[in-house]
Amino acid sequence: MTAPLPVLAVEGLTRAFGGLVAVNNLALEIGRGEILGLLGPNGSGKTTALNLMSGALRPDAGTIRLMGCDIAGLPPYRIARLGLTRTFQLVRVLDGMDCRENVMAGLVFGRPHLAAVDINARTATLLQRVGLGGQEARLACELTYIDRKRLELARALAPAPDLLLLDEWLAGLNPSELVSGIDLIRSLRDDGITIVLVEHVMRAVRALCDRCVVMSGGRKIAEGVTGSVLADKAVVEAYLGGIAADA
Amino acid sequence: MNARLATFALLTAAGLSLMAMVPYLANAYWLALGISLLQYTVLATAWGLFSGPTRYVSLATTAFFGVGAYTVAVLGEALPWPVVLAVAAMLGAALAVLVGLSTLRLSGVYFVIFTFGLAELIRQLVVWFEVNKSHVLGRYVFVPVTQALIYWQLLALAAAVFALGWLIARSRLGFALRIIGEDETVATHCGINTTIAKVTLFVISATVMTLVGAVMAPRWTYIEPSIAFNAMISFQVLIMALLGGAHRLWGPVLGAVPLTLLFELLSANFPNTFTIILGCIFLVIVYLLPRGVVGLIERRRETSVPVQRRLPA
Amino acid sequence: MTNAILTGLMLGGMYALIAMGLTLQYGVARIMNLSYGEVLIAAAFGAQGLFTGWALSPFAGLAFVIPVAFLLNLAIYRVLLSPLVRRARTRDALEVDSILATFGLAFILQGIMLSMFGGAYYSYSYLASPVHLFGETIAANRLAALAVCILLGGSLYLALTQTRGGTAIRAVAVDPAAAQLVAIDVARTAAFTFALGGALVASAGVLISTFLTFSATSGVVFTMKALIVVVMGGVGNMLGCLVAGLLLGVSEALVASLIDPGLTLAVNFALFLVVLLVKPAGLFGRASR
Ligand SMILES: Nc1ncnc2c1ncn2[C@@H]1O[C@H](COP(=O)(O)OP(=O)(O)OP(=O)(O)O)[C@@H](O)[C@H]1O
Ligand SMILES: [Mg+2]
């Protein structure tokens, strides 16, 4: 019996900015339906890693296989069409458009086989799904912070991605929003979506992630099942006891 | 909805046929004014077609206009008129593909700078070619195209450019461009090939501009590069479109009509203050009317009907 | 050939000086100033007026033109441009606004000069005696202008790299938000730098007036060249400016002497395009993707 193909397999991924190697020889794998936590202190290269995977940045070296197909160096629009979508650390929605159009943006250009779906129905379902039901006509710029994040997530979910990259999607939420946010992401996983979760909120990491990869200074310093990784001495040291301890 | 569309189509048809009558009714002066109005309306609308959604400030209008005009100067007598127009359109489109592919991947400022000099670049090349290779500078345009015919062709172009704009706004391309205008990074991550989208629209807009140049060429009996590639056209079209409001299809015409009349008046009576007024209009646009006349109208509407502003589509 | 290269180097040095002011204004104050060439021409007219009216040598005239240009540009920034900076939500929005506003300014300045001086070309004869150098003959005014140009550019470079104020300016150029965090008054630095750029281009205008003919409408050519040099050298990069300026000057002079003087702008643009296609961030800029 052959092992199932990982949704994402990264090897030797490297990218430098001038003299600073932001991502250094990173390797990781994610199986279908898994939530992988990508952790690390500020500036450790998490966002850069996501940028490399989604095509926003071109890697200096390394391979990135999405469902077995090498996507390293492809432009973002091709990667999106292959089934990888993302949200941004600083939430990006289309301010001048309403919620319906924001979701449609993710829907109509994404994947060819979705061309036949009923766009209005699917948009309504997606907005419902993230907790923005019935808000189709609201302008994105009128939404609150958490709703903007929800809208961005709906856009990323629109093309039914194989892999979803979330960059600190739960950051900046108040405690009750955090609870509903965690539930939402868990429900996505239950629907079979594979997720890479970059997160500083350790409560969410513990609640959601099956496995974690920890980065520091661009390198992978630990990897494994969430509980044991978070207890790892090197990891605690990398965080200087700060964030890991308070969780 | 369909009834409204039918009424709209009917009204448009009536308006167009009325405008088509102008050459029979007006004397030479008014016909010339009509030609100017149509010329700038088409140019400004074509400008807005590309720059409105993408927010790239293009100063390439003159370049395309000039390519059209100069194509007529060179080929006008050799080929039948429709073929001349077709060749001009193809040259304009080819130039737009080249310029678009090389500059639209870059940031907006580089695009402005490049288009700023494009007309001058082409003019220098044409002059150099004419002086050194074909040994003529300046050509006579003898083609059997009357003023009335120019007017009708421009009217047809105007109808075409509005129809095109209407269709694009309802197409995938139009939606893609609005997303690009909002946030290009998001657009690419949504699966939009932003380069193709922008270049496509740029080519459409440039082809229309080239055709305007070609259609207008017979108006001069004598054309030399400095007439065909007159940098002022780019600036005039730019402020017309922005004054009207380039984010709506019918915005640029609201700037083109009053400014054409104003420029006509100025160049006849106060040639020296022309540049100063042009500069002041730029400042008015930036400080007082950032979304143009259209923005003003939209704001008025919003304040009078605050609640019903956006109904679910 | 030697003559062409010498002329090219001299032109190039001048372009570098012109572009230095623009790279400051764009790199630090974030204003893409398209009325730049008009300021240059206004200064040229000023020098010409001082010379013909009061027999004041252009180099002495600098002492008058530089402070006036500094104050005028400061006023322009404070009155016209800082409102745009304050209202801009994104860098792109500011870019479009500043492009349009400074285009307006350019046309107004040009219109004023047109109504004062008409469309005719102006020049005056100052230090026009020939000098022999490397077996070639060069007008003394060009050499003198080049010397002052090197002096100005060099002292500016030193001031930016060696002084506290200069370091603050470079910090704002790299990252305004971070500069704010280390107690740099970004708004004031931007205003000061914009004015400094204006003073620089005005001094270039004075120098150019000693050996080139100019008219009320020739500003736009200088704007174009400055823009090309700035982009080629990498925005905000002084050394890039120098290299790109020299490259532009030499290539231009070579083409003018070997092929056709009418093709100078075509050459500028060809160079510009090649650089943009190969290194979109400029010769000395960083890659962005
Ligand atoms: N475009 C860029 N140009 C230059 N340096 C960059 C760029 N993007 C990131 N860096 C640098 O790379 C390093 C890693 O940054 P990155 O944003 O990937 O960190 P991060 O792990 O996401 O941090 P945080 O938790 O604060 O979001 C940082 O030192 C950052 O300054
Ligand atoms: Mg990050």
**pLDDT recorded at residue C210:** 85
Q: Which of C13, C1, C51, C77 is nearest to C229 (CA)?
A: C13
**Domain ranges in chain B?**
15-231
Residue owning the nearest CA to atom 28 of ligand 1? A43
Does a structural domain hold residue A178? yes
Query: pLDDT tens across C187-209, in order?
Result: 888 899 999 999 999 998 998 88
Any ligand 1 atom below 6 A from CB of A42? yes
Q: Ligand 1 centroid to A76 CA: how many Å?
A: 19
Mean pLDDT computed over C121-138: 74
pLDDT of residue A114: 63
DSSP letters for C255-275: HHHHT-GGGHHHHHHHHHHHH
> Do A110 and A176 lie in a common domain?
no
Together in a domain, A132 and A189:
no
Alpha-carbon gap, residue B86 to B61, rounded angstroms: 19
Q: What is the per-residue pLDDT across A198-233, written as a single tens digit (0 to 9) for each?
A: 998 888 999 999 899 999 888 998 888 888 888 877
Which two structure tokens, joined as six digits, stand for C137? Answer: 């003959």
* Burial profile C127-163: b = 16 or more Cβ within 10 angstroms, e = fewer: beeeeeeeeeebbebbbbbbebbeebbeebbeebeee
Q: Give the sign of the dihedral formed by CA B175, CA B181, CA B182, CA B184.
A: positive
- The answer to whether the Cβ–Cβ distance between B283 and C105 falls below 8 Å is yes
How many Cβ atoms are within 10 Å of A70's Cβ, its own excluded? Answer: 11
A118 and A145 together in one domain: yes
Q: What is the 3-state secondary structure (H, E, C) of chain B?
A: CHHHHHHHHHHHHHHHHHHHCHHHHCCHHHHHHHHHHHHHHHHHHHHHHHHHHHCCCCCCHHHHHHHHHHHHHHHCCCCCHHHHHHHHHHHHHHHHHHHHHHHCCCCHHHHHHHHHHHHHHHHHHHHHHHHHHHCCCCEECCCCCCHHHHHHHHHHHHHHHHHHHHHHHCCHHHHHHHHHHHCHHHHHHCCCCHHHHHHHHHHHHHHHHHHHHHHHHHHCCEECHHHHCCCHHHHHHHHHHHHHCCCCCCHHHHHHHHHHHHHHHHHHHCHHHHHHHHHHHHHHHHHCCCCHHHHHHHHHHHHHCCHHHCCCC
% pLDDT > 90, chain A: 55
A62 lies in which domain range? 1-83+161-247
The whole-angstrom distance between C282's CA and the closest CA on chain A is 15
| Highest mean pLDDT: which range of A15-19, A36-40, B243-247, C143-147 | A36-40
| Residue at which a domain ends, from A111, A126, A155 | A155
A and B: number of Cβ contacts within 8 A: 74
pLDDT, position C123? 81
Q: What percent of chain B has pLDDT over 70?
A: 96
Residue nearest to atom 17 of ligand 1 (CA): A47
Residue bearing the CA closest to ligand 1, atom 16: A45
Q: Which of A83-87, B148-152, C17-21, C256-260 has the lowest mean pLDDT?
A: C256-260
The per-residue pLDDT of chain C, averaged, comes to 84
Q: Report CA Rg, chain B.
A: 20
Residues of chain C with pLDDT > 90, as a percent, come to 16
Structurally, how many domains does chain A consist of?
2
On whether residue A88 sits in a domain, the answer given is: no
Domain boundary among A155, A177, A201: A155
Q: What pLDDT, on a 0 to 100 scale, did the predictor assign at position B313? A: 34
Q: Which of C64-78, C125-139, C151-165 has the lowest mean pLDDT?
A: C125-139
pLDDT reported for residue A77: 94
Whole-number mean pLDDT of chain B?
A: 87
- Pocket probe mutation, ligand 1, options A14, A15, A17, max atoms within 8 Å of Cβ: A17
Residues B249-299: tens digit of each pLDDT: 888 999 999 999 998 888 777 777 888 888 998 898 888 888 888 888 888
Flag whether pLDDT at C2 surpasses 80: no
Q: Is A77 in the pocket of ligand 1 (CB under 6 A)?
A: no
* pLDDT at residue A94, as a whole number: 92
Q: Are residues A101 and A133 in the same domain?
A: yes
CB proximity list for C173: less than 8 A, separation 6 or greater: C27, C28, C236
Confirm if A28 and A36 have CB atoms less than 8 A apart: yes
A70 & A168 share domain? yes
Beta bridge partner(s), residue A214: A39, A222
Is residue A246 over pLDDT 60?
A: no
Categorize the per-residue pLDDT at C151 as very low, low, confident or very high, splitting at 50, 70 and 90: confident
Residue B212: both structure tokens together: 């305007």
Whether B2 has a pLDDT exceeding 90, the answer reads no
- Segment B163-167 shows an average pLDDT of 93
Does residue A130 sit in the same domain as residue A167?
A: no
Which CATH number characterizes residue A242's domain?
Answer: 3.40.50.300
At residue C285, the pLDDT reads: 62
Ligand 1 atom closest to Cα of residue A50: 18
Instruction: Name the 3-class secondary structure at C9.
Output: helix
Q: Please say whether the beta carbons of B99 and B46 come within 8 A.
A: no
Q: Does A31 share its domain with A130? A: no
pLDDT score recorded for residue A2: 59
> Where does residue B9 fall: left (phi above 0), alpha (psi -120 to 50 degrees), or beta otherwise?
alpha
The reported pLDDT for the residue numbered B228 is: 87
**B60-74, C59-73, C158-172: which range is least confident on average?**
C158-172
Is residue C53 predicted with pLDDT exceeding 70? yes
Q: Which of A17-21, A182-186, C48-52, C84-88 has the highest mean pLDDT?
A: A182-186
**Which ligand places an atom closest to the C-alpha of A87?**
2
Q: Determine what percent of chain A is predicted with pLDDT higher than 70.
A: 94
Average pLDDT of span B106-131: 83
Above 50 in pLDDT, residue B143? Answer: yes
With cut-offs at 50, 70 and 90, classify the pLDDT of residue B8.
confident
Provide mean pLDDT across the span C205-214: 87
Do A10 and A124 belong to one domain?
A: no
Contact call for residues A102 and A93 (beta carbons, < 8 A): yes
In a shared domain, residues A14 and A39: yes
Last residue of a domain, one of A136, A155, A174: A155
Same domain, yes or no: A41 and A117: no
Dump pLDDT digits (tens) for C98-110: 888 999 999 999 9
Kindly indicate the confidence band of residue B310, based on its pLDDT and cuts at 50, 70 and 90.
Answer: very low
Q: Which amino acid appears at position C180 of this protein?
A: Q
Residue A17 β-bridge partners? A20
Residue of A nearest to B311 (CA): A137
**Per-residue pLDDT, B232:** 86
